[in-house]
Copies of this chain bind each other. A is one copy, B any other.
Amino acid sequence: MQDQQPFRTIGPTTYLSPIPCVLVGCADASNGIRPNLITVAWTGVVCTRPPMLSISLRKERYSHDIIRQTGEFTVNLVSRQLCRAMDFCGVKSGREVDKFAALGLTAVEAPGLSCTPGLGEAPAFASCKLRQVVELGSHDLFLGEVVQVSVANRYFRPDGSIDEGAMQLVSYIHGQYHQTGPALGFFGYSVASPKVLERRGFGKGKRR
């Protein structure tokens, strides 16, 4: 354990890391169905039952009103291969650019939603129905219930479990996108028996 040490204050700021960074899918249904993608790092899990995710959006963003109107969005996980596309979707507005076309990405049907696309190249995505909007200041907090989760076939192991490690998911730390490193342990490993540690691949000699 590293020693306790002096701190320096840096003022009030959103200093939480690592955080997820995802591509949120939505569809402008006002004039035909026009799919869009927006990059969101202000996102998180907010409830287990019902399963709910939150995304925070600035009022002035193109996707803000779209999601308010359709009451739907998808949360698409971002693999290393999608990192550059995600960055592009964070700096360009869907008002000016068809991001799916510009990036050669595929809008796929999101199970459980009426018009909102999933991202075909994402390793997995959650279909969400908007349940509540909480106005906070610069951002509105959108609370969505997950109605279905889709995972790309290739990440299933033969036994039906999912290999999240193979997804090479990206996190966000203070302005930088980061790869995910190796696993350090599993929930409960600090109190697990040697037998359980061995079975889960964290046995003696493999201890991190």
Contacts and interface: CB of A to CB of B under 8 A. Distances in A.
B188 A47 contact: no
Interface of A: 1-20, 22, 41-54, 56, 75, 77, 79-85, 87-88, 90-92, 103-106, 108, 111, 118, 120-121, 124-126, 132, 134, 136-139, 141, 143, 145-154, 156, 162, 164-165, 167, 169-171, 173-191, 208
A46 B141 contact: yes
Contact of A19 (B45, B50, B88): B45
A20 to B, nearest CB: 6
Given A4-B121, A44-B54, A14 B146 contact: yes
A138 B1 contact: no
Given A15-B124, A173-B180, A5 B153 contact: yes
A7 B150 contact: yes
A19 to B, nearest CB: 6
B190 A87 contact: yes
B174 A79 contact: no
A183 B191 contact: no
A164 B16 CA distance: 11
A52 B136 contact: yes
Contacts of A137: 47-50, 52
A121 B189 contact: no
B176 A178 contact: no
A14 B185 contact: no
20 contacts: A1-B105, A1-B121, A2-B121, A4-B120, A7-B124, A7-B125, A12-B147, A17-B169, A42-B47, A46-B136, A47-B56, A52-B136, A83-B184, A83-B208, A84-B190, A87-B189, A173-B183, A177-B186, A178-B180, A179-B182
